[in-house]
Amino acid sequence: MQRPLILASTSPYRRELLQRLRLPFDVVSPEVDETPLPGETPQSLAQRLALAKAHAVAARFPDAVVIGSDQVADLDGEPLGKPGDHARATTQLQRMRGRALIFQTAVAVVCGASGFSSHDIARVRVVFRPLSDEAIDAYLRAETPYDCAGSAKSEGLGIALLDAIDSDDPTALVGLPLIRTCRMLRAAGVTLL
């Protein structure tokens, strides 16, 4: 018998990605403080939060297989989170124009009852075009990506902001690296096909 599957995230983007696997799952808010620790690197932050989210929900549902994930935009070692509003999104995109950055997307799979715990991280290198202030403003008003790390949705109009995307897990940039997630779910005993 397959264990229940839970996505420890309220992100609609992660929910949509996980639905691609055609597995029944529930969504539970992990209620984890996402404040970076002093001196924490973007990679460490993403990994810590993915594990914390998975463990927080697994503690409440020990028989379930729980997926936690987090994404941090990494601009030369500085974590860029979700902007939250137009002004911060404008500042983020102005800083990123004409530059490459790394989106660190961590995923963790945990099951309290079986003791299973695994985590991994996908690094997606993204090169932004040299963007004018007018282009940035037009994009933000059209798509309002204020809940996205790095202020851009590559799965939507945000693709027009970019010169290149380099990744071995194409869904990682949207927020959940499904290739890695599938690998961990199989190891946790979840049947995918």
Q: What pLDDT, on the 0 to 100 scale, is given for residue 60?
A: 97
Q: What pLDDT, on the 0 to 100 scale, is given for residue 81?
A: 83
**Helical spans, DSSP H, in 20-151:** 42-60, 86-96, 133-143
Q: What pLDDT, on the 0 to 100 scale, is given for residue 74?
A: 94
Which CATH code of 3.90.950.10, 3.40.1710.10, 3.30.1440.10, 3.40.50.1700 fits the domain covering 5-187? 3.90.950.10
Coil, strand, or helix at residue 175? Answer: coil
**b/e map of 124-163 (b: 16 or more CB within 10 Å)?**
bebebeebeeeebeebbeebebeebbbbbbbeeebeebee
Using CA atoms, how far apart are residues 45 and 47, in angstroms rounded to an integer?
6
Given 26, 70, 147, 166, the catalytic residue: 70
Between β-strands 5-7 and 78-80, what pairing exists: parallel, antiparallel or unpaired?
unpaired
If we measure between CA atoms, which residue out of 7, 1, 5, 2 comes closest to residue 24?
5
Amino acid identity of residue 18, one-letter, is L
φ and ψ at residue 78, rounded to 5 degrees: -100, 130
- The single residue listed with the structure tokens 């810590």 is 48
Report pTM.
0.92
70 catalytic, yes or no?
yes
Q: Are 138 and 93 in contact (CB under 8 A)?
A: no
Q: What pLDDT, on the 0 to 100 scale, is given for residue 145?
A: 94
Q: What pLDDT, on the 0 to 100 scale, is given for residue 1?
A: 75
Instruction: Give mean pLDDT in consecutive 10-residue pieces for the chain, a chain of 193 residues.
Output: 93 95 97 93 96 98 97 92 94 96 96 97 97 97 92 92 95 96 97 91
Following DSSP, what letter does each residue of 12-37 receive, concatenated?
HHHHHHHHTT----EE-------PPP
Long-range own/partner contacts, residues 159-162 (CB < 8 A, 24 or more apart): 161/93, 161/128, 161/129, 161/131, 161/135, 162/126, 162/127, 162/128, 162/129
